Amino acid sequence: MIEWFTWVQVVVAVVAGVVCVVACFARRQPDDITVGTGAVVLLLLLVQLVVAIVAPFVGNAPTGNLVEFYIYLVSAILLPPLATVWALVDRTRWSNLVLATSSFAIAVMVYRMFQIWTVQGL
């Protein structure tokens, strides 16, 4: 993993979560903005997948358990599409809270993936 890219992902996921929480408490239904934030988070996760595949070949091997890392990554990649489906099926303001929860969970998961990649065994 690349450290600066990890922090970009964490910040974007937290901002996306905050936007969705604000939309929920403003009594707005899911719209292009709240669903779009999840799409941006998903795009960054897909870029992270490519980085994770390429990194060991260029000398940036993980220090932790690679299987655990990929379980976190695949699980994180599944969250935005599942939350979006929920938001499109249940068109209430509470769907924005589901989108927010998925974004906050992804922020934590990305940070944990960074720990698995870099901190283990030091």
pTM of the model: 0.92
Residue 15: which of 50, 49, 40 has the closest Cα?
Answer: 40
Residue 49, both tokens: 């997948």
Contact yes or no for 105/79 (Cβ under 8 A)? yes
Tokens of 70: 């990929």
- Which residues does 76 contact at the CB level (< 8 Å), separation at least 6? 45, 105, 106, 109, 110, 113
51-106, pLDDT tens digit by residue? 999 999 998 888 889 999 999 999 999 999 999 999 999 989 899 999 999 999 99
Which residue matches tokens 């299987």? 67
Cβ–Cβ under 8 Å, residues 94 and 24: yes
pLDDT band at 17 (very low <50, low <70, confident <90, very high): very high
CA-based end-to-end distance of the chain? 16
For residues 5 and 37, give the distance between their C-alpha atoms in angstroms, rounded to a whole number: 17
Cβ-Cβ contacts under 8 Å for 50 (sequence gap 6 or more)? none
* Residue 99 structure tokens: 């989108």
Q: Is the pLDDT of residue 122 over 60?
A: no
Radius of gyration of the chain (CA): 15
